[in-house]
Amino acid sequence: MTESHAVTPTPLEKNLQLVGTSEDALVKILDMDPSIAETAEFVQFVAGDKILPSCTPLAHRYGGHQFGVWASQLGDGRAILLGEYINKRGERWELQLKGSGLTPYSRGADGRAVLRSSIREFLAAEAMYYLGVPTSRVAALITSDVDVIRDPLYDGRPIVEKASVVLRLAPSWFRIGSLELPTKLGEVSTLRTLLQFIIKTSFLDLWSSAEGNLAKASVSFGLKVAKLSYEMWVHWQRVGFVHGVMNSDNISLLGVTIDYGPFGFMSEFNRRYVPNTSDTEARYCYQQQISALDFDLASLIREMAEGFKILRRKAEVDLKLAFLKKLGLSNEVHYDVVEQLLLIMEESKADFTATFRDLSEVDIYKIEEAEDKFWALLETKRHKHFDAFLQKYKDALQAEEVDEARRQSMMQSVNPCYVLKNWMAQEAIAEAEKGNFEQVRLIERILQKPYERQVEAEKLQFGSKVPNWEKRLMVSCSS
């Protein structure tokens, strides 16, 4: 399952009429001449009948908590993303058509928006912009003579309404629910891709200061989302705006007001004011908007924390696979072979790097003939359980049908000959302090090919037993 689907808008037809445009959005955001709105082509574009060649329309998959309860998969059921536009001012805006027909996330509904709610979204979004409240925008609204049936008060008295489309804009349409869903479903790689995409496209500064480390960037991203959301809330409160349905699928990750549904601007001052008739418990009333945000943000953090746990579990599995690979194996059922060897190595104080490397270069079926240069393995071999391990190891290799040549080449690609031991660095440092940087440069060169035996390195005994004096080397935090 992916987080978005390529879709095609279903063009709206039948007596299309332009209800209104935001000249400001057309000019300042889309770099258009406002007269464009008078052309038939523009109306067709908003109707979903003109997909520019550079567009790949998408419907986004998201989930959300609705009135405190996990609603599972929702998604753009009637909104289609046309693409992004980077304007003259260097701002990135995403264009959506809301009401442009069915998508894979329509869940049995018709994919259409009606004139009533589209006008509300158009006027409110633009009004909020001029009030100085961070918001999505509506560039244009068209309507038609296509009938759709709605039951606006959910009272079993449906009415016929006119299908309409808004061309709406936001710096990003990602919502809290965009991240909640893949996390809930344990889709780690989707979550990673999504997080990375959102942070890189909308918060490049965070990405740069985290030096591309996703976990680090995610923490600052989480804080940023909270900061922007609470800032948005201050604006809402100061102008008396009550969103009406602060479910986590309706809360932007960029702190802009989205989803103009059953919102209302308070008339008489009433902290319990709630515009949404479905909200019988006043969960989203004026006074509670901050608690609603707390809940949605906590859900994001909870989900992200859950995501970290999933990543952690995956890392543990990856580590097992990495160790199996160090022995030329790949099937998890053979992990006890790894464990057995590690135990032997620990008890015999075997050199971690050299033992694995020796094992990758010696023919294990003629291990008795191993030369002295395989000192690490020979030392490990003295352990009383080594023969038992070797037998188990050979059985595992046989079961995985790994022949000796393949085993050796696989192992040699993952078991280094050389790592930077402290004594090596210390010798180079001592020389450097005398003004001779040769050794530093040499080590740097050798360590560029850690998986290859190198004559120079062997001469310097970089693959040999660590000199005793290394044990006395003290390395502190300031090192």
Ligand X SMILES: Nc1ncnc2c1ncn2[C@@H]1O[C@H](COP(=O)(O)OP(=O)(O)OP(=O)(O)O)[C@@H](O)[C@H]1O
79 lies in the site for ligand X, by CB under 6 A = yes
74 lies in the site for ligand X, by CB under 6 A = yes
Q: For residues 21 and 247, which CB has a smaller minimum distance to ligand X in the complex?
A: 247
Catalytic option among 33, 76, 249, 351? 249
Nearest distance in Å: CB 295, ligand X: 16
Nearest distance in Å: CB 163, ligand X: 10
76 lies in the site for ligand X, by CB under 6 A = yes
Q: Which one of the spans 28-36, 76-84, 209-217, 388-396 is the region binding ligand X (CB under 6 A)?
A: 76-84
Q: How far is CA 396 from CA 139, 338, 368, in A?
A: 65, 11, 20
Alpha carbons 341 and 385: distance in angstroms, whole number: 9
Q: Pattern 105-124, binding to ligand X, x per CB under 6 A?
A: -x--xxxx------------
Q: For residues 258 and 457, which CB has a smaller minimum distance to ligand X in the complex?
A: 258
Q: Pattern 224-263, binding to ligand X, x per CB under 6 A?
A: --------------------------x-------xx-x--
User: How distant is the alpha carbon of residue 201 from its chain centre?
Assistant: 12
Residue from the set 61, 78, 283, 407 that interacts with ligand X by CB under 6 A: 78
104 lies in the site for ligand X, by CB under 6 A = no
Q: How far is CA 73 from CA 265, 278, 360, 424, in A?
A: 30, 21, 49, 56
Contact 169, 93 (CB under 8 A): yes
What's the sign of the alpha-carbon dihedral 299, 61, 255, 234? negative
152 lies in the site for ligand X, by CB under 6 A = no
3-state secondary structure of 66: strand
Alpha carbons 37 and 23: distance in angstroms, whole number: 9
Nearest distance in Å: CB 196, ligand X: 23
Give the total of residues touching ligand X (CB under 6 A).
15
Strand-pair category, 92-98 with 159-170: antiparallel
29 lies in the site for ligand X, by CB under 6 A = no
77 lies in the site for ligand X, by CB under 6 A = yes
326 lies in the site for ligand X, by CB under 6 A = no
Contact 127, 133 (CB under 8 A): no
84 lies in the site for ligand X, by CB under 6 A = no
Alpha carbons 12 and 144: distance in angstroms, whole number: 7
Q: For residues 74 and 300, which CB has a smaller minimum distance to ligand X in the complex?
A: 74
Q: Which one of the spans 16-24, 72-80, 368-376, 422-430 is the region binding ligand X (CB under 6 A)?
A: 72-80
The answer to whether 387 is a known catalytic residue is: no
Nearest distance in Å: CB 108, ligand X: 8
Q: For residues 49 and 110, which CB has a smaller minimum distance to ligand X in the complex?
A: 110
Joined together, the tokens standing for residue 93 give 């805006």
Residue from the set 9, 20, 48, 75 that interacts with ligand X by CB under 6 A: 75
Nearest distance in Å: CB 396, ligand X: 50
Q: For residues 102 and 397, which CB has a smaller minimum distance to ligand X in the complex?
A: 102
Contact 163, 113 (CB under 8 A): yes
Q: For residues 229 and 348, which CB has a smaller minimum distance to ligand X in the complex?
A: 229
Nearest distance in Å: CB 45, ligand X: 19
Q: For residues 67 and 423, which CB has a smaller minimum distance to ligand X in the complex?
A: 67
Q: For residues 263 and 374, which CB has a smaller minimum distance to ligand X in the complex?
A: 263
Alpha carbons 328 and 360: distance in angstroms, whole number: 9
Taking CB positions, which residue lies at the least distance from ligand X? Answer: 77
Strand partners, 163: 114
Alpha carbons 436 and 430: distance in angstroms, whole number: 9
Q: Which one of the spans 77-85, 264-272, 315-323, 394-402 is the region binding ligand X (CB under 6 A)?
A: 77-85
Alpha carbons 236 and 134: distance in angstroms, whole number: 9
Q: Which one of the spans 1-9, 104-112, 156-164, 372-380 is the region binding ligand X (CB under 6 A)?
A: 104-112
Long-range contacts of 118-124 (CB under 8 A, 24+ apart): 118/19, 118/143, 118/164, 118/165, 118/166, 119/19, 119/164, 120/260, 120/263, 121/166, 121/168, 121/260, 122/19, 122/20, 122/22, 122/166, 124/260, 124/263
Nearest distance in Å: CB 198, ligand X: 17
Strand-pair category, 159-170 with 58-60: unpaired
Nearest distance in Å: CB 152, ligand X: 12
Contact 69, 56 (CB under 8 A): no
Residue with tokens 């008078």: 38
Joined together, the tokens standing for residue 13 give 């037809």
First CA to last CA distance, the chain: 47
Q: Which one of the spans 25-33, 45-53, 71-79, 457-465 is the region binding ligand X (CB under 6 A)?
A: 71-79
Amino acid at 100: S
Nearest distance in Å: CB 168, ligand X: 8
Alpha carbons 77 and 61: distance in angstroms, whole number: 9
Q: Which residues bind ligand X (CB under 6 A)?
A: 74-79, 106, 109-112, 250, 258-259, 261
Residues labelled catalytic: 249
